Structure formats: structure tokens, C-alpha cells
Amino acid sequence: MRKNWIAKASAIAIVVSSSLNAQVLPEHQTENQWYTDAQSKLIEKSTVNNSFKAKNVILFVGDGMGISTLTASRIMQGQLAGNSGEEDYLSFENFPHTALVKTYNVDAQTPDSAGTMTAMMSGLKTDVGVIGVDEDIERGVCSSQSGNEVVTALELAEIKGLATGVISTARITHATPAATYAKSADRNWEDISDMPEDATECVDIADQLIHFEANLEARYTGIDVDGIDVAMGGGRRHFLPKDVAFNSADASSEIEGDRTDSRDLTAEWKELYPNGTYVIDQTGFDAINTESEGPIFGLFNESHMQYEADRSNDIAGEPSLSEMTQKAIQKLDNNEKGFLLVVESGRIDHGHHAGSAYNALTDTIEFANAVEMATNMTDSDDTLILVTADHGHVFTIAGYPKRGNPILGKVVPVGSDEATTASDDMPYTTLGYTNGLGYRDLGTETDADVTYTLDAAAGRQDLSNVDTTTSGFHQEALIPAGSETHSGEDIALHAQGPGSQLVQGVIEQSVVFHLMNQALDLVNE
């Protein structure tokens, strides 16, 4: 009660102070929209929830969603709505609390997703390329794994009796989602075919997902858990045997599985959870009964799921990130104790690696839609929502374009209708990359990955007669590389709900775990 009184008193003080200032400031200043909008934002932030304990926590991770990606995406979102764009906000940018997060790994200045997500899920930083283990491990050496495993927030939530879920637009065995449930000396050990012959004591990531419940109960004698309630994403090939005849009998596709041990892990999952629901396409997804008792397992693509821009081109159909988020919450909130849900937009990262700002920004906007879906479905009084990234990219916003200039377009300066030129007398785009495959003009092509079938074309190109706003345009890159790289810059953390007031300042990435632990009391010390 006292905390609420303090919040209300603060809001009143701001209003009184504004009234006094209004007697000094001219009317054209105090009635200016910029002035009044800023004042309203301050009042909103002074009346936030001051509780520290939550019933539910949702962690959203935009893979590769650096600060420049947020800026460009909000502008693109606004421009798609018919506005100039700069004044727009992604849904989570309206959250009351924000911090900057340092992303380096123990052994790397510029990180990867395995080390960064392990930090967020376990509370300690680790090396590049390893999952669910500490820094004392040697990457790729199975014998170094034993004794260095760490416990994740998802495991702790299971032990506490909360409902749990992990969803991703990447392969569900990929580094970011895998760091919620797996322990691996190498992020690439997604199935047994990816592992060295001498790694006989280690278990592949797909196997660990299927047998998560049994593994957890075996590791901690005396506990009783019910397993992950919702797991959805891509990566079906890592769960199926490398057997053409077998896969051609599967309604999903005729793509070969990767497993060389002849095991069908989807069949093993169905045997473990006879009351569960396994789905592979939009039709199956739409038919899911979230009120049923069993868990949900969705594998919607043999590899990564489609970019958001490509989903309408897929005959079988894949659900959007927003739809998966909605379905997951509908399932998880059946647990009266609460839930922990981890949501990853993995293809933001892949769009950047391919040098396609269009796909990276389009998937970021859909990611923001998923956050908005979760915000609308939950109560900020009992649900902490954290929105962050694992790392950034070498993605730049440059030049001096006038306000409202198409974010995917060429730089047109204030007072001109013509694109400005660089010292080489050629125009250039607002968005670009420091390294990568470089310029492509693929017209209306929406699949960013097609660029990997072509040779690198880094360096300057004459864009005078090129429409750079099309979906198939890939930005120029300064340094030629087979794939654009991550950056070492800080990323943002946005928060709403109980405990969100602790999200402030500049923090280590491992603090994200401790925010979830603080809210849910996962560790009773």
C-alpha cells in the first residue's frame, strides 16, 4: 500500500511541477506535441508496478536484435503504417524499464548465441560454442563436459512445479533454444550424426529434448517433474532417422532425416507422452486443444522455420511467432502455480547473416507483434516480461537522410528529392553492413538464404538504377565474407511487470537469469 501511495505522490508531484513550469514557459512550448508526449511518458513511468514477485515469467529473445536493428525496425514499422516512421515504437519499447546488456563471452570479445543464451539461462558467463556448461569445458571435447554442467532457469521452473515452454523460429535444437534444456560441449551436436565418434559419453541435443524429463529426474534424485509442456520450432531432421523410405512415408516431406542411429525420436516422444500432441504444419497447429492434459511438440520445418516474409509461400503452412506465443500461453496458464516461457525469434539473426536488412527487420516487427500478443494475454501485476537479444550485428544506419526517408532506401538529404552521392559519385543506402556477402538485387525474392548460393560481392556498387526497397535487395558490405558477423556491442533489455524495476543501468548478461530467479524464487538459498 505504501509503495502505491509513493508512486501516486510522485505522479502528482510531476503534474504540480509541470503546472509551475507552465507559468514560466511560453504556451507554444508547453502545448507542443513533443513536449506533452514526453511529459505523459514520464507520468506513466512514475505509476508502475512496484512488486518484486511474479507468478509467470516470459523471456523474449530476438536473436541478433542489436540497437541499430531496433531503430531501423521501428522506422520500418511506422512507414508500413503510412507514417514517417521515426516517431514509432516497437511494442516492447513502451515498457517502463530498460537496461543495456554487455554480451561478451568468457573467451570472446564478440560472442555467439550459445555462450550468451547460457549466460541468460544459468546466471554465469561461459565460452563461445558451448551450451549449458561453464567455462572450464573444452569445446568439442566430450570428456570435459562431465562435472561442468549448469542448471538452467527452465529446469528450476520444472523442479518448482511450474509449467514450462520454449518456442523458436529456428531449429528447436539450435543454440538459443537448446540452451534452455541441454548440456553440450558443442552447439553443433544437434543430432548424433553431428558428433565425433569418440563422444560416446555425450548425448546429442535432440535426444536431450525428448528425454528432458527422465534426464532431470535422474540427475536430481527424489524430484518428480512432468517435462516441458510446450516445445515448438523447426529442426525436424534432427529427430528422424537417415532413411529415405522412412521419411517418404512421413506426411511432412521427403527430406531425409539426419540421424545415423536409426532412431525416430518423434515416435519415442509419442510413446513417452501418449496424451501429448505432435504437429508438423499449420493444420495440425490450428487443431491443438490447449486445454488437454498432455504436452505439445511442434516441428514445423526440416530445418529452420520460414522467414516471416516467406510463410505465405509454404503450401504446408507454418504458424507465425505470434501464433505460437498465443498457443503456448493458452497452454501454460492452465497451471495454477504459474509458468516460465522462453520465446526466440531466430531468423532475425539469419537475415542479418545473409546481408538482408529486409528480412531481419520484417522478422523483428513480427517479434514485436508476439510480445504484444503476450502483453495482451497476461496481467502486468503477476507476469514479468523480459525482452532482449543475445548479441548484435555489424549493421549500420548511416548518412544524413531526411526524416521519413524510406529506411530501406537510398540516402536523400534534407531539402532534396535526389539521392546524395559519396565521394565516388555513386548513391548509397541508409542501411549497410561492415562485412558479409554484400550487394544483391534479387527483385521480389523474399528468401534471404538464397544469397548463400552466390559469390560474395562486397564493396561499392552503382545503385543509381536499383530499387533498394524491394524484398530481394541485399545491402552493400565493406569487407567480403561468406557470412556477415555478430558485433560486440551492448544490446537492450526491456521489462514490464513484477521485478522489472530492477532492470536499469548497464549489466552483465548473466543478470537476466537472476532477474527471473528473483521474480519466481527459483533458487531457495
Which residues, 6+ apart, have CB-to-CB distance to 397 below 8 Å? 68, 71, 72, 430, 431
Are 346 and 359 a contacting pair, CB within 8 Å?
Answer: no
How many alpha carbons fall within 13 Å on the CB side of residue 105? 25
> Given 3-state DSSP classes, what are the helix, strand and coil percentages for the chain, each rounded to the nearest 5?
35, 20, 45
Specify whether 113 is catalytic.
yes
3-state class of 411 per DSSP? coil
Q: Which pLDDT does position 30 carry in this prediction?
A: 81
Q: Which pLDDT does position 40 carry in this prediction?
A: 84
- Distance, CA of 522 to CA of 481 (rounded, Å): 43
Q: Which pLDDT does position 249 carry in this prediction?
A: 47
3-state class of 287 per DSSP? coil
Q: Which pLDDT does position 21 carry in this prediction?
A: 56
CA neighbor of 64 nearest in space, from 108, 117, 133, 10 = 117
CA neighbor of 432 nearest in space, from 399, 456, 404 = 399
Are 350 and 304 a contacting pair, CB within 8 Å?
Answer: yes
- Distance, CA of 392 to CA of 73 (rounded, Å): 14
Q: Which pLDDT does position 6 carry in this prediction?
A: 43
Q: Which pLDDT does position 255 carry in this prediction?
A: 60
Catalytic residue, from 46, 113, 380, 500: name it.
113
The model's pLDDT over 263-304, given as tens digits with 9 standing for 90+, comes to: 999 999 999 999 999 999 999 999 999 999 899 999 999 999
Domain boundary assignment for the chain? 56-394+485-520
Q: Which pLDDT does position 464 carry in this prediction?
A: 97
Are 49 and 381 a contacting pair, CB within 8 Å?
Answer: yes
CA distances from 396 to 299, 408, 517 (A): 34, 12, 35
Q: Which pLDDT does position 25 carry in this prediction?
A: 87
Q: Is 48 exposed, middle or buried (0-12, 13-18, 19+ CB in 10 A)?
A: middle
Are 420 and 94 a contacting pair, CB within 8 Å?
Answer: no
Q: Which pLDDT does position 76 carry in this prediction?
A: 98
Which residues in the chain come in under a pLDDT of 50? 1-6, 9, 12-13, 16, 248-251, 525
Are 332 and 232 a contacting pair, CB within 8 Å?
Answer: no
Q: Which residue has the cell 511494442?
A: 91
Which residues, 6+ apart, have CB-to-CB distance to 423 below 8 Å? none
Q: Which pLDDT does position 60 carry in this prediction?
A: 99
Q: Which pLDDT does position 19 carry in this prediction?
A: 54
The class (CATH top level) of 56-394+485-520 is: alpha beta
